């Protein structure tokens, strides 16, 4: 695997460490040509994105995803983990993603043990973002509050996705789930913000005064950096996702900030 630059960044005195969980294309269950997954881009735009970001494409033009989680080292505060990745071989992500994930090993390389995580922010309850929270039926981060939006839990309970029983229920039984409605300050200069669209209760992390946005899945592919109006086939509400993405990217770029993205080849983007 061609490992990207994993050098941490610092924003508002907080170190943001990218944790590479896996790299690979979607499995056959979800795989489609990128132009079908992200409709609306011109041929010229796709040619430019393919030339600029070749690591986002496989040998047959398929979308190759990078799966990043992020560690926030807060001076004098908790270690905050944003997303928990793909999880083990038998995780809910195994039906379509390159399991197992490498999150725990990546954390170890960063000098942090799972028990030293104080807060886990799960941006949303899709299997590639939440499955690493539980292994062998037990929480991987036993001392962490796992923060989720009430809207996200309600959506998951309606859809009855496998992640409900495999991940959410063990966390609930251990008393590790904190549910909220709206924004929440996790630490000085670390704000959790609602970013709905991809899922109803999607949330992201803003560090400092718009210095760094840990995006979650408000965007998925470099083509959406080039044109934020381009939607994604698997957004629950594509119009809400487009509005969220367009507004936040404009806000961050206007302030000269940086994006920490889960699925682009490079962990940090502008």
Query: Residue 9, class by beta-carbon neighbours within 10 Å (0-12 exposed, 13-18 middle, 19+ buried)?
Result: middle
- Beta bridge mates, 24: 65
β-pair type (79-82, 117-121) = parallel
- For residue 2, the model assigns a pLDDT of 65
Which CA distances in Å does 160 have to 66, 168, 190, 218? 27, 11, 32, 23
- For residue 48, the model assigns a pLDDT of 97
H/E segment holding residue 169: helix 169-173
Which parts of the chain register pLDDT below 50?
A: none
Which CA distances in Å does 75 have to 166, 210, 222? 33, 19, 32
Distance CA 262, CA 209 (A): 21
Distance CA 189, CA 172 (A): 28
N-to-C CA span, the chain: 24
pLDDT tens-digit map of 178-218:
999 999 999 999 999 999 999 999 999 999 999 999 999 99
Residue 52, C-beta contacts closer than 8 angstroms, at least 6 positions apart? 222
Task: Give me 115's structure tokens.
Answer: 């028990």
- For residue 29, the model assigns a pLDDT of 84
- For residue 171, the model assigns a pLDDT of 98
- For residue 3, the model assigns a pLDDT of 72
- For residue 91, the model assigns a pLDDT of 96
- For residue 202, the model assigns a pLDDT of 98
β-pair type (184-187, 190-194) = antiparallel
């Amino acid at each position: 695997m061609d490992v990207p630059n994993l050098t941490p960044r610092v924003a508002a005195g907080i170190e943001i460490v990218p944790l590479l969980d896996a790299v690979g294309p979607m499995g056959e269950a979800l795989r489609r040509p990128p132009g079908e997954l992200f409709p609306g881009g011109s041929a010229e735009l796709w040619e430019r994105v393919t030339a600029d970001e070749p690591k986002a494409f496989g040998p047959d033009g398929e979308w190759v995803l990078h799966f990043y989680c992020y560690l926030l080292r807060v001076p004098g505060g908790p270690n905050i983990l944003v997303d928990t990745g793909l999880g083990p071989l038998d995780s809910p992500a195994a039906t379509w993603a390159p399991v197992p994930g490498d999150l725990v090993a990546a954390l170890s390389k960063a000098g942090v043990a799972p028990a030293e995580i104080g807060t886990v922010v799960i941006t949303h309850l899709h299997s590639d973002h939440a499955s690493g929270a539980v292994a062998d039926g037990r929480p991987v981060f036993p001392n962490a509050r796992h923060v989720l939006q009430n809207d996200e839990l309600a959506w998951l309970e309606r859809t009855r996705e496998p992640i409900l029983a495999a991940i959410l229920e063990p966390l609930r039984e251990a008393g590790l789930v904190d549910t909220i409605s709206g924004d929440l300050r996790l630490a000085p200069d670390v704000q959790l913000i609602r970013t709905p669209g991809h899922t109803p209760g999607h949330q992201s992390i803003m560090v400092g005064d718009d210095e760094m946005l840990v995006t979650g899945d408000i965007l998925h592919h470099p083509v959406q950096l080039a044109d934020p109006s381009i939607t994604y086939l698997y957004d629950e509400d594509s119009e809400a996702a487009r509005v969220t993405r367009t507004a936040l990217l404009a806000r961050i770029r206007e302030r000269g900030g940086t994006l920490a993205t889960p699925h682009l080849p490079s962990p940090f983007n502008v």
